[in-house]
Chains A and B, each alone.
Chain A
Amino acid sequence: MNLTLKIWRQKDSNAKGQMVDYKVTDISEHMSFLEMMDVLNEQLINAGEEPVAFDHDCREGICGMCSMYINGEAHGPDRGVTTCQLHMRMFKDGDTITIEPFRAAAFPVIKDLVVDRTAFDRIQHAGGYISVNTSGNTQDANAIPISKHAADEAMDAATCIGCGACVATCKNSSAMLFVGAKVSQYALLPQGQVEAADRVRNMVAQMDLEGFGNCTNTGACEIECPKGISLDNIARMNRELMKAQF
């Protein structure tokens, strides 16, 4: 199929940037979206132009790098997938596709479609871990009984890949689905209890410091999240923070 692409081009973090139109031809519907972008970039390189910079790594939906806002949705129109898992069969011959970087003041653009998501790393450093002595006599995790229900819910929360689609989608650029998932995966397990109060306080404080917005419960993040992280995790984080006051 033949497509028109409207892509955000920005030389570096200080440049102004603008939308630029491109044409690609003979795109197979079996290609992934990133493969289509590869075709465009080869075309640009052959013409002596600067290729479009975009983030990617695993190309199988687990690293969370492939941040693109496609036709007004994070990771494009399909559900439960990242951009690398999005197939070109979701589009029609002759379509115009708008491709922008994830937008949030806390995710500044580095170049073209590449944004800086180290704010998420700093939130994780603030408390997204448990302090375990790994000297060699660590207790076997299976020695601690955990209910199937709690284990399942913690595992669901832990599937968050830190892609940032929730922030990109949210009209408030709120990071609460991400932080809610990271808080929940420990809050649900006995190993997470010891540091629970400090964890949620420090992670929320870091989230606010990074300049993410306030959740208004539109629920858009949950719909666009490639891993189906539930809004219930935000409610749990709110409860954890309230509990941490006493």
Chain B
Amino acid sequence: MSGFFKSSIGRKVAMALSAFFLMIFLLQHFAINLLSVFSGDIFNEVSHFMGTNWLIQFVMQPVLIFGVVFHFIMGFILEIKNKKAKGVAYAKNNGAANSTWVSRNMIYSGLVILAFILLHFIDFWFPEINTKYIQGDWSGVHEGVEGYRYFHELQEKFVNPARVAAYIVAFVFLALHLLHGFTSAFQSMGATAGRKKTLQNIGKAYSIIIPAGFIIIALYHHFNHIH
């Protein structure tokens, strides 16, 4: 079995498995963000639960970090191997004649997402780690803020238009990444279903609705919370 994951096909399967995991995570993240549009209180409750539950903090969070790091490192490894396998580049290559732009540029859409993830870590994750693990404050409350602090922090983040713009760009590239990635992951797993109309349509819907949703949520908070 260890030999399997060293083979070209095994690496593809590993890539697809990490991608499936990330797509499920994204759906869950979207669902929670969506709550923030309807009720700050419910968003706070759920955020506090997610932020203090040991299963999520000590099991799911490390798994998620591993999943993300594995996915982009594997992406880079495959890209380098594939460049090497081509050797000499063509003087003239008409890629558009037989494949989509998104399928040929997964590494670039991926790099934009990676840059966004770094920003996201600096924005949300590092402060959380600092509050909880370094300062040891697991209370979820903050001076001068009524109730839990999470919703307030979220609103503060979306005041700056430059950050909102960065969000929009990142999620457009995530949509491009998924427009190829969603069905590609099924094909890698050996499921020809990825090539059937139904799954292609589900893939398109997922790839457009979820990123668009994130963008709309960011804009909603931006326009509803200008000081």
Contact = CB atoms under 8 A, between A and B. Distances in A.
B87 interface: yes
B103 A204 contact: no
A172 B11 CA distance: 14
Interface size band for B: 35 or more
A104 B82 CA distance: 10
Contacts of A245: 1, 4
A107 B189 CA distance: 28
Interface residues of A, number: 47
A226 B7 CA distance: 28
Interface in B64-91: 78, 81-82, 84-91
Contact of A98 (B10, B91, B95): B91
Interface in B87-105: 87-95, 97-100, 103-104
A223 B98 contact: yes
Interface in A206-246: 207-208, 211-220, 223-224, 231-232, 234-239, 241-242, 245
B161 interface: no
Contacts of B178: none
Contacts of A117: none
A77 interface: yes
A168 to B, nearest CB: 9
A32 interface: no
Contact of A235 (B86, B104, B187): B187
Interface of A: 6, 8, 19, 69, 71-73, 77, 98, 100, 103-106, 169, 171-174, 176, 204-205, 207-208, 211-220, 223-224, 231-232, 234-239, 241-242, 245
B82 A172 contact: yes
B12 interface: yes
13 contacts: A73-B98, A100-B91, A173-B85, A211-B85, A214-B8, A214-B11, A215-B8, A217-B103, A218-B99, A219-B99, A223-B99, A235-B190, A235-B194
Contacts, number: 136
A71 to B, nearest CB: 6
B100 A236 contact: no
A238 B188 contact: yes
B195 interface: yes
Given A218-B103, A218-B104, A219-B103, A238 B12 contact: yes
A224 B94 CA distance: 11
Contacts of B97: 72-73, 77, 223
Most buried by A among B93, B95, B191: B93
A214 B92 contact: no
Contact of B85 (A72, A213, A223): A213
Contacts of A106: 85
Contacts of A238: 9, 12-13, 188-190
A215 B91 CA distance: 22
Contact of A169 (B88, B98, B195): B98
A204 B191 contact: no
B81 to A, nearest CB: 6
